[in-house]
Amino acid sequence: MAVPTEDLLRRLDVPGPRYTSYPTADRFSDGDGAEPFLRALEQRRGRAGPSLPLPLSLYVHIPFCESLCHYCACNKIITRRHELARPYLDDLRKEAGLYVERIGRGQVVSQLHLGGGSPTFFSDEELAELIAMLREHFTLPAEGEYAIEVDPRTVDAARLRRLADIGFNRLSLGVQDFDPAVQRAVHRVQPLAQVTGLMQAARAIGFDSINVDLIYGLPLQTPDSFARTLAQVTALRPDRVALYGYAHLPERFKAQRRIADHALPGGPARVRMLAAAMAAFEQAGYVYIGMDHFALPEDALARAKRQGRLHRNFQGYSTQPDSDLIALGVSAIGRVGASYGQNAKTLEAYRQALAENRLPIERGLGLTRDDLVRRAVIMALMCQGCVDFESVELGHLIDFRSYFAAELQVLAGFAAEGLVDIDLGAGVVQVTPTGWFVVRAIAMVFDHYLRTPRSGSQFSRIA
């Protein structure tokens, strides 16, 4: 793993999409924008049966949190009123039923992810009821991946055991940083000893994979303090690590207004933290998956990268085949075929749609032919680090060299930096080991929508 220099990271440190989709969600349209997604659901039902070409993934958004984390940019509802969980569970049941009416009952789900908010806001009984409800509507085979995001402050070893009994086999622990001053600054105090105990318990229980989330660029973080967190995390040895750069957008996210600009580390410090993280995980034996993920060599994500089976969806990198995604809950985003659909972002609008017996999809997008071509290229870069011209040409009936003539000229500059290898004769663009660390910047070359002034400040920075 060739870790890039701080100078290179600094020069490429610009706002850019994370490419959990292409086009990105800021390009979805309100109103009629949802129609392509609704039509795609009907088309999926028409393909139901043994010949169905795509498996199905499920995402469930549970927006409730007991306390506010100041860095948070998620769609959430801060409350200690746990009685709100019951009506929301009823909402999810109604929404799942509306989907089944459109696509048919019992379709096989290969992957389930509960996100938030904080899914562990639900009681164990409510989580068990949620999974039982999903089993009524869909088929969840024993070999599926069933993941839940866990706020370490809301669980103990006994509760982890109950989560496993309910059917979850993967955990994602939100750590962010272990430094006490940083934790106080972002209003999320969870001592190292607490997380260590949970990790030990999860391993004893036998979860298939344990993920830890980290954020660099938080208030009061310094390269030295973050180095201590990195040492503590690598000592815990989670199966996977997701490393995100904090995007400070207080004009968009009210919670972030509690963070003073002067408390944030500057650009050079952020770059040093990112470079240090890359080096620390390399030295600890982790495989760099791409952009923001690291995994132990024996983890399924690392195996998928070695075998060229990586995919990317709204939850990040995935080992699952490219699949349709049904998303339940407030603000959740789904994908079916060549279309995206996003639910209403407020609980009131979400419930109003369900009361009217209609899916709460508020906005969406049907992909154009150009979108599909560019999505194929961008996802090939993000997941395999390689674009084969011939496969794109056969799949989309274009001449790659002429269609992307301008983009290939821009890529020549990346090649001069040692970030990509371009072989026009063989028809291949290959991301180099160093280029993997700035793969977002490479993928951005093919993003048509970044040519308009609407984009830029809406995204997190690459470094």
96 is in an annotated binding site: no
Helix/strand/coil for 64: strand
How far is 120 from 148, CA to CA, in rounded Å?
8
- For residue 57, with 0-12 CB atoms within 10 Å meaning exposed, 13-18 middle and 19 or more buried, which class applies? buried
69 is in an annotated binding site: yes
CA distances from 369 to 7, 366, 398 (A): 38, 10, 11
Q: Residue 111 in contact with residue 58, Cβ under 8 Å?
A: yes
Helix/strand/coil for 178: coil
How far is 57 from 313, CA to CA, in rounded Å?
10
403 is in an annotated binding site: no
302 is in an annotated binding site: no
Sole residue written with tokens 């009936």: 397
383 is in an annotated binding site: no
- For residue 409, with 0-12 CB atoms within 10 Å meaning exposed, 13-18 middle and 19 or more buried, which class applies? exposed
188 is in an annotated binding site: yes
Helix/strand/coil for 289: strand
Nearest CA to 176 out of 70, 105, 20 is that of 70
Angle in degrees, CA 259, 262, 268, rounded to 5: 110
Q: Residue 339 in contact with residue 367, Cβ under 8 Å?
A: yes
How far is 296 from 301, CA to CA, in rounded Å?
8
b/e map 247-274, b = 16+ CB within 10 Å: bbeeeebebbeebeeeebbeeebbbbbb
65 is in an annotated binding site: yes
DSSP 88-140: HHHHHHHHHHHHHHHH-TT-BEEEEEEEES-GGGS-HHHHHHHHHHHHHHSB-
176 is in an annotated binding site: yes
Helix/strand/coil for 164: helix
In this structure, the chain runs to a length of: 463
74 is in an annotated binding site: no
| Beta carbons within 10 angstroms of residue 192's beta carbon | 17
Q: Which residues is 207 bridged to in the sheet? A: none
Helix/strand/coil for 210: strand
Known binding residues: 59, 65, 69, 71-73, 116, 149, 176, 188, 213, 247, 333
Annotated binding site for [4Fe-4S] cluster: 65, 69, 72
Q: Which residues are annotated as a binding site for S-adenosyl-L-methionine?
A: 59, 71-73, 116, 149, 176, 188, 213, 247, 333
